[in-house]
Amino acid sequence: MIELDGAQGEAGGQVLRSALALSVGTRQPFRFTNIRMHREMPGLLRQHLAAINAAADVSNADTQGAQLGSRELVFRPRRCHAGEYTFTLVSGGACSLVLQTVLPALLLADGPSVVRITGCTHTKTAPPFDFLQRAFVPLVERMGARVKLSLSGYGFHPQITGGLQAEIVPAPLRAISIDERGARVSQFAEAYVASLPTELAQRELLTLSRHLHWNTDQLHLRSLPSAVGKGNAITVTLAYQHITEVFTGFGEAGVRGEVVAQSLAEEVEAYLARSAPVASYLADQLLLPMALSGRGSFVTTTLSPHLLSNAIVIQQFTGRKVVADPYMDGYRVTIA
């Protein structure tokens, strides 16, 4: 039984989801105490229960403490098995957080799987669909597995009208190294509006254009049907020979679109000013499949608290060390 203590370090929802993914992938049970002890609302929230229940479904796991507000969880997985799974999230739950919990283990399952998740596809607190499809999944496929990700409908927080589907064909995962971006292939921005004036998206794109010095061919307005609810998001996609990065800003009530777009532009400019290929959010996502493959490396712009916390959990479940060394204008992260 692997012991995790939420009283130590950054032990929030990300650590829980990583522990669930690694537990199912390695078939090792764990006990997590003092869950989210240092948070304003300690204990399990609804989005955490959704991840626990999904992980339990794909592994026929036994659980203790899987209830709202619980500060202790015991999770005992059996074998991860392929199949068709449907998960419906409530209270604005993020599809990507459930997918990142079950995907690593299903990459090693005994056959193909289909995962359908209904919930938010675009929310500030989780990787949006565009990021998963363009940045993360292509790198997972370079490891050997096949993952086809499709959008069944846009869902902006707090609406839950959207959803995604993942078709997963597992394979032995091989190590990859991501040392450089390579030549730039394309770059473009998209502004999504649902049940909001298109003028908002136009102002956001104009702000991005001014900061990034892009022309109109690189700016795309996406006006979505009112049936998806109300929402606004802006994405910037930078495609290179060896990697694609996606940066996202989300509209908020009372915040002008120009402010959201300027903040996003500054994040993009910071990435463009450096040479490291992997930005912080993608680095967080890459660690788990790399750990299950047994090895791999990438150069990232920064070491986030999530990455450092994931490194500790990975060592507990796999015995493998995640080593981060300064390299050029970033850090080389190696699993060995």
pLDDT of 336 reads 85
User: Per-residue pLDDT averaged across 189-211, rounded?
Assistant: 95
Residue 243 in any domain: the answer is yes
Residues 195 and 264 in one domain: yes
pLDDT, tens only, 236-276: 999 999 999 999 999 988 899 999 999 999 999 999 999 99
pLDDT, tens only, 14-60: 899 999 999 999 999 999 999 888 777 889 999 999 999 999 999 99
User: Per-residue pLDDT averaged across 135-145, rounded?
Assistant: 96
Q: Output 148 or 37, whichever has higher pLDDT.
A: 148
Asked if 246 contacts 236 with a C-beta cutoff of 8 angstroms, the reply is yes
Q: From the candidates 48, 122, 157, 306, which is the catalytic residue?
A: 306
Residue 161 has pLDDT above 90, yes or no: no
Percent of the chain topping pLDDT 70: 97
Residue 226 in any domain: the answer is yes
pLDDT of 281 reads 94
Residue 141 in any domain: the answer is yes
The total number of structural domains that make up the chain: 4
Largest CA distance in the chain: 57
Residue 12 has pLDDT above 90, yes or no: no
CA dihedral 241, 245, 246, 247 (to 10 degrees): -140
CA-closest candidate to residue 99, choices 80, 78, 85: 85
Residue 128's φ and ψ, nearest 5 degrees, are: -75, 165
In this predicted structure, which of 117-126, 152-161, 324-333 has the lowest mean pLDDT? Answer: 152-161
Determine if the pTM surpasses 0.85.
Answer: yes
Domain end call among 78, 99, 121: 78
Q: Output 39 or 317, whichever has higher pLDDT.
A: 317
**Residues in Cβ contact with 180 at an 8 Å cutoff, skipping those fewer than 6 apart:** 242, 275, 277, 299
Residues 168 and 222 in one domain: no
Residue 226 has pLDDT above 80, yes or no: no
Q: Is 306 a catalytic site residue?
A: yes
Within 10 Å of residue 253's Cβ, how many Cβ atoms? 6
Task: State which residues form the domain around 290.
Answer: 277-336
Cα gap 117→163, rounded to integer Å: 5
Residue 277 has pLDDT above 90, yes or no: yes
Domain end call among 172, 206, 238: 172
In this predicted structure, which of 24-28, 120-124, 218-222 has the lowest mean pLDDT? Answer: 120-124
Residues 139 and 213 in one domain: no
CATH of the domain at 10: 3.30.110.150
| Mean pLDDT, the chain, integer | 93
